Homo-oligomer: A and B are copies of this chain.
Amino acid sequence: MDNRRELISPFFRKVELRDTLSPEERDAILRASDDVRVVSAGHDIVREGDRPSHSTLLARGLSARFSITQDGARQITALHLDGDFVDLHSFLLKTMDHGVRALTDCVVISFPHARLRTITEQQPHLTRLLWLNTLLDAALHREWLVAKGQLSSLEHMAHLICELQVRFEVAGRADKGGFTLAMTQADLADAMGISTVHANRTLQELRSTRLLEWENGIVQIHDVAALRRLGQFDDNYLHLRREPR
């Protein structure tokens, strides 16, 4: 159970960046959790069309939400890292309209919908915090739409890396100026809605600006300010502000 608490802690950390959690609320979350599972890289955590009976919290690892179009193209619509719920929305949407795949080996914890429901019935504040988590997802979706719609691929990539840098930091998985990002260039391309070839060339262009390095899955940002300027990045949409919700 202490192990469990340890696994859930990235989630607590994420929440506590936006509001405070009482010890009782932490316990309630802990009690709502169920199985701990390992999903190895490349496998699906949930599939499109599923009607899950529980929602899944990513305790450790990197996973991606994606949809496949009729002609087989894949669009990644979100990336999850430690402390992110990958399908909390299935609690109320019921049917998955997309899949979630592990990009690295992932440790996940399941939360039976019945227990989440109990939380909504007994813990208003905790309910709002869970709700908030899904609102953050939506805020990220909007920002991705803006980036995809209005930025060049170079700017878009800079933006994405800035976002990941902040999120990895917040998840406690970045050290000064660097983090491990286990995404292939094909994954990156699918997240940005560009071809693999172009993702490769854009990345090279970005590297040639000397703003960052990305070798063997390790991203090193040399000039955060300049990278943010290039990607027109402003972290407002991450709502990193502690206040009563």
Contact = CB atoms under 8 A, between A and B. Distances in A.
Interface stretch (A36-44, A66-74, A180-188, A197-205): A66-74
Interface in A126-148: 127-128, 131-132, 134-139, 141-146, 148
Contact of A67 (B128, B131, B146): B146
A213 B145 CA distance: 28
Interface stretch (A26-34, A89-97, A162-170, A215-223): A89-97
Given A131-B134, A138-B141, 5 more contacts: A69-B146, A69-B232, A93-B135, A93-B139, A141-B141
Interface of A: 65, 67, 69-71, 73-75, 77-78, 89, 92-95, 97-98, 117, 120-121, 124, 127-128, 131-132, 134-139, 141-146, 148-151, 192-193, 232, 236-237, 239, 241, 243, 245
